[in-house]
Structure 1
Amino acid sequence: MKLVLSPEQRELREAVRAFLRAAAPLPKVREGYDPAVYARLNGELGLSGLIVPEEHGGAGAGMAELAVALEETGAALLPGPFLSTVFATIAAGPVSDKELLTGIADGRVTATLDRTEVLFDGTSARGTLPQVLSGMEADVLVAPARTGDGLVLVAVELAGPGVRRTALDTLDLTRGQAAVVLDGAPARPLGRAPEAELHDRLCVALAAEQLGVMRAALDAIVAYAKIRVAFGRYIGSYQGVKHKLADMHGKLEQAESIVRYAAWAADESPGELPGAAALAQAYVGRACFEVARDHLLLYGGVGYTWEHDAHLFYKRAKADEVLLGPPRLHRARLADLLEL
């Protein structure tokens, strides 16, 4: 088991971090999804094709490398359909659909995954999907459908006929959702849906993003505690603040170990993946929200203002915490796996 990043993974982390610092700084996050930044992210770094097999134009990397990239996009609160495209890639990877995966690897296609079953008659899809991640920005929707051969994945062009999309008001201002209605929308089958393993890999990917959100929030409030003076002293010198920051750091360290273990299991030990994935969301999801919440509180009054960035981390953390189901569901699954 490897819980420490390799030299190549550290280089990937630095490259993604440097790019996002220059192309998508926090002040730009409020402007929302920028297709130009997404195009550069894929053109210069090839992140959309990171886990796409080499035969389809991707890098053929594993979940460990993907986790490194997602940690950085999470820390930057990157807007837009990157996470949703990652989810769709994870789903489509086992079925090895050349058309979709090549488009994703080239950066020409953004995608999203929704696990609401749709009706599929072989050529078209029908159904109502109430909350589709990045549903307004994605080009292709991947969703499960029940057929005579079991559960399969189908791909729907969201800009095509028979598709109605409505933007939703969401808590997280940096990543939208949409209600999508399919009414005879042209669709094509991708292959059999990888049910259990798919959920586990989604949990690992989301936990990696949450780890980045935690790290960025903690770094920001530590830096603030070193310069903010109250009653003639830096607030970082007060015991109440120091203890809170230490608790937050402890949560971050545990979360990092859990994410590294889960990513390793996804690549190297499939038998350990279900437990590692359930643990990742049971712990990291809640820990991320607690760190983001406490970092906002430690800013004092300024942290509650619209102009400050603290609420952006708070809202991303809460939205991520429930994206794949609340932590109690993951705790229950972990308990079942451990036969508790």
Structure 2
Amino acid sequence: MTFTPEQDALRETVRAVLERHSEPWKVLCEQVGVAGLAIPEAYGGLGCGLGETQVVAEELGRALSSAPFLGSAVLAAHAVLEAADETAARRLLPAIAQGAIATLAWTTADGTWHPDQAAVTAKGSTLDGSAHYVLDGDLADILLVIADTGEELGLFEADPAQVRRIHSTTMDETRGLAVLEFTGVAGTRIGTGDFRPALHRVRDIACATLAAEQAGAAARALDITVAYTKQREQFGRPIGGFQALKHRMADLYVLVETARSAAYAATQPDVDRARLAAVAKAYCTEAFSTVAAEMIQLHGGIAITWEHEAHRFFKRAHGSTQLFGQPHHHLSRVVPDLD
């Protein structure tokens, strides 16, 4: 797994911003341009690929940042791009590239994130229904909606002022989610034709990006745990010196590195991105959950106190497990007989 000098510089810059600023989104957008990474230059973006998006996501994961990158710069931006609507792209993408928060309302209450299903219905240009688990939905300036027209799925833009937005109280307080209720809301159709095939591609990109975020968070959780085992003493010596714990942390290191490889595999040319995105989501979810659980156990009682950050990694791990579909669902995409 190799990175270009530009990707390494991007990683270092994003990490420095996250270390210096408690509210980094504005700086990341204005000085680094992260909100426009995936957006072509013609629409005010940087025109970068999935690899650069994943580099940023990995660093945001290490910091457990609540920046609206995943929902806005990835999910919403790619939805607009996939719609292939030039008028909508010129109207929406420059704002997203500059840091306006956009979101995609799509998921039903069961949280399956299925590309063939929508939580909202459209009768003409009128939207009705309730979308759940909407990333930063209560803060978004631009609301995009997947709606079932009765014959196909379509992408719509809705007026935020007409939508009832309810912030969701979740275990992971670093991930902003909301329920959006549509009752006779006017919607503007973006693009034509059935959006289902495009939504599959959007979800694959989101899964690959989330996998990189999970790999970054897992790596940071392991770093913190290793440092702690070098400080905490038992029987007159650091617990990290005991062979059993050395073996456990060596296994975790292998798990983290293979998770990074799985995440970035989807960036390679001439690959089956859908299949590799499914592998990345399933593998990185399990890897992060395993590392977070070991972090709690190896820290002992301090890990379940509010004062220590271990519980935040544990909550992010379990929250991200549900995002964009659970691991067993994505495994069934790789090996259909597993479903």
User: Shared fold by TM > 0.5?
Assistant: yes
Shift in Å, 1:325: 1.6
- Contact 2:240-2:246 at 8 Å conserved across structures: yes
Deviations 1:236-274 (A, max 9, x none): 10122211111110101111111111122xxx32x5112
Q: Whole-Å Cα distance in 1 between the matches of residues 125 and 159 of structure 2?
A: 12
**Closer, same or farther in 2 for the Cα pair 1:281/1:125, shift >3 Å?**
same
In 1: Cα distance, 2:171 partner to 2:182 partner: 25
Is 1:41 aligned to residue 28 of structure 2? yes
Specify the code of the residue in structure 2 equivalent to 1:64: G
Residue 157 of structure 1 is matched in structure 2 by 159
Of 86, 95, 120, the residue aligned with 2:83 is 95
* 1:123 and 2:125 matched: yes
User: Residue 112 of structure 1 aligns with which residue?
Assistant: 103
Shift of 1:339: 10
Q: 1:148 to 1:53 in 2, by over 3 A?
A: farther
Q: Distance in 2 between matches of 1:208 and 1:156?
A: 30
Give how far 1:121 is off. 3.6
Name the counterpart of 1:23.
21
1:293 to partner: Cα distance: 1.3
Flag structure 1 segments of 5+ consecutive residues without an equivalent: 25-33
CA contact (8 A) 1:20 1:76 kept: yes
In structure 1, what is the equivalent of residue 44 of structure 2?
A: 57
User: What is the match of residue 286 of structure 1?
Assistant: 286
Percent identical: 39
- Normalised to the residue count of structure 1, the TM-score between the two structures is 0.89
Q: Is 1:275 aligned to residue 263 of structure 2?
A: no
Shift in Å at residue 148 of structure 1?
7.2
Q: CA deviation at 1:326?
A: 1.4
Which region of structure 1 is more displaced relative to structure 2, 281-290 or 134-143? 134-143
Residue 26 of structure 2 aligns with an amino acid whose one-letter code is A
What RMSD in Å do the two structures reach over aligned CA positions?
Answer: 1.9
Q: Post-superposition shift, 1:195?
A: 2.7
Q: Secondary structure of the residue that 1:319 maps to in structure 2? A: helix
Query: What is the letter of the counterpart of residue 285 of structure 1?
Result: T
Q: In the alignment, what sits opposite 2:8? A: 10
Where do residues 1-340 of structure 1 align in structure 2 (5 Å cutoff)? 3-24=1-22, 34=23, 37-85=24-72, 86-96=74-84, 97-107=89-99, 109-116=100-107, 117=118, 118-147=120-149, 150-158=152-160, 160-161=161-162, 163-192=163-192, 193=195, 194-264=198-268, 268-269=269-270, 271-336=271-336
8 Å contact kept, 1:122–1:189 = no
Cα offset, 1:79, TM superposition: 1.1
Q: Is the 8 A contact 1:210 1:285 kept in 2?
A: yes
CA distance, structure 2, for counterparts of residue 206 and residue 262 of structure 1: 12
Distance in 1 (CA, whole Å) between partners of 2:297 and 2:217 is 16
What residue identity is the alignment partner of 2:101? T
C-alpha contact (below 8 Å) 1:46/1:105 kept by paired residues: yes
Residue deviations 1:156-205, cap 9 Å, x none?
A: 232x12x1111221010111211110112232122252132222111101
Q: Deviations over 1:66-118 (max 9, x none)?
A: 000000011111114221112111222222522111110111x2011232322
Count of equivalent residues: 319
- 1:131 and 1:256 map into 2 onto residues whose CA distance is 26
* TM-superposition CA deviations, 1:101-150 (whole Å, max 9, x none): 1110111x201123232222443322111322222122222221233773
* Corresponding residue SS for 1:4: coil
Partner of 1:30: none
8 Å contact kept, 2:331–2:338: no
Instruction: Mark the runs of 5 or more structure 2 residues left unpaired by the alignment.
Output: 108-117
